[in-house]
């Protein structure tokens, strides 16, 4: 799944990337290996902290780690990213509400892309006004949805 998703994204040189619900940090590391220059990782589970810190230590660029809930991170956000990757635990019930909050938060600017890894049966029930769904890729029992923040025309 990871290889396929990053193949869709292409070169990330000089792009910013945030990995929310990062777990071990493997997606953030992949972004670093593909050229992303500004990377953040967000994880709330204290049991994953040691592994995450160990893994990001091998990154060719610094990965800033935040140990807090995804909701708190979004609420405190102050800067935009080119790419936002969310991989919430499959039982997490608030993924669409979180996506809606992210779509209107300082984490995004016009053209930012948001990727959501989810179980196949947990489909989007309604459109998120600020986002255009560009693609959806199935990987076994899971799906990665690709969204782009709508640009406002003047």
User: What local confidence, expressed as pLDDT, does residue 121 receive?
Assistant: 87
- pLDDT given at position 153: 55
3-state secondary structure of 92: coil
- Report, in angstroms and rounded to the nearest whole number, the Rg of the chain calculated over CA atoms: 15
Domains identified in the chain and CATH numbers: 2-149 (3.40.50.150)
H or E element that contains 13: none
Q: What is the pLDDT of residue 154?
A: 43
* Cβ-contact 18, 78 below 8 angstroms: no
Q: How far is CA 110 from CA 18, 35, 60, 105, 148, in A?
A: 16, 21, 28, 11, 8
In tens digits, the chain (154 residues) has pLDDT values of 888 899 999 999 999 999 999 999 999 999 999 999 999 999 999 999 999 999 999 999 999 999 999 999 999 999 999 999 999 999 999 999 999 999 999 999 998 999 999 998 887 766 888 899 999 999 999 999 999 998 765 4
Query: Distance (Å, rounded) from C-alpha 134 to C-alpha 113?
Result: 9
CA dihedral 97, 99, 77, 19 (to 10 degrees): 130
pLDDT attached to residue 81? 98
């Amino acid at each position: 799944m990871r290889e396929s998703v990053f193949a869709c994204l292409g070169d990330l040189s000089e792009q910013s990337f945030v990995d929310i619900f990062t777990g071990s940090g493997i997606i953030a590391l992949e972004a670093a290996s593909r050229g992303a220059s500004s990377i953040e990782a967000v994880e709330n589970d204290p049991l994953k902290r040691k592994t995450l810190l160990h893994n990001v230590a091998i990154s060719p660029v610094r990965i800033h780690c935040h140990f807090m809930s995804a909701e708190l991170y979004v609420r405190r956000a102050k800067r935009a990213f080119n790419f936002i990757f969310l991989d919430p635990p499959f039982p997490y019930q608030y993924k669409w509400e979180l996506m809606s909050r992210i779509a209107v938060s300082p984490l995004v600017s016009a053209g930012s892309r948001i990727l959501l890894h989810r179980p196949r049966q947990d489909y989007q029930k309604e459109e998120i006004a600020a986002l255009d769904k560009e693609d959806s890729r199935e990987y076994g029992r899971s799906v990665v949805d690709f969204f782009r923040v709508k640009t406002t025309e003047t």
